[in-house]
Amino acid sequence: MGTLKKKLEARTTDFDHWASRRRYGADGPNNLRLWVLACMDERLPIDEALGIHVDTPVGGGDAHCFRNAGGIVTDDAIRSAMLTCNFFGTKEIVIVQHTQCGMLSANAADLEQAFRDKGIDTDNLNLDPTLPEQKLEKGAFAKWIGMMDDVDETCIKTVDTFKNHPLIPDDVIVSGWIWEVETRRLRPPTQDQEKRARTDTTAKQFGVSKQPPRWA
């Protein structure tokens, strides 16, 4: 049995490396070499859903975690995934979307109209003032919002997008999962209606008509 002194010395050394791991690039990865893309919804508990420590205890260190509305592909999600996979030693991507998602609850065309009613020209927007070169083509604003028709379908397409993106290394493992808010359990995305029967997974269940075709 080692002495307490040696255990404390090892713990101190490990913590120093943990705290300064970004200095080491790919040799200082997070604990699980993992990047998580998840919806920003407050009802989606990443640690509970995946059985890891990202948010609790604070700074758990198991993964890099990126949240956005819907947990979908965006240019900034690609940017973050590119950095963690190519330069910070990450070898796996896990995408977590969920039932009862707010991105099912309205039609993107209606949301765009709400901005137009406020006098905002959605065909001429500077999305990022620090990068004026980044612009949307005319008529693309509603698609950019990224509302969904079907959570499971979107999750499957999100996985495929990351698997096939040129900035993501081919050896990175990519998987997608659905967190059921109603049952507090994780499952793979599916089109099996029986497996989805007790959950709200489509915009139709919210009384919303078909969204602009983001995945065209």
Report the distance separating Cα 129 and Cα 91, nearest Å.
33
pLDDT for 94 beyond 70: yes
Residue spans of the domains in the chain: they are 29-104+148-208, 107-146
pLDDT digits (tens, 9 = 90+) for 18-75: 899 999 999 999 999 999 999 999 999 999 999 999 988 778 899 999 999 999 999 9
* pTM of the model as a whole: 0.94
Confidence bin at 214 (pLDDT 50/70/90): confident
SS3 label, residue 93: strand
DSSP conformation class of 53: -
What tokens does 5 get? 């002194």
* β-sheet bridge partners, residue 92: 34, 173
Mean pLDDT rounded to a whole number for the chain: 95
Taking residues 138-155, what's their average pLDDT? 96
CATH code matching the domain that covers 29-104+148-208, chosen among 3.20.20.190, 3.40.1050.10, 3.40.50.800, 3.60.15.10: 3.40.1050.10
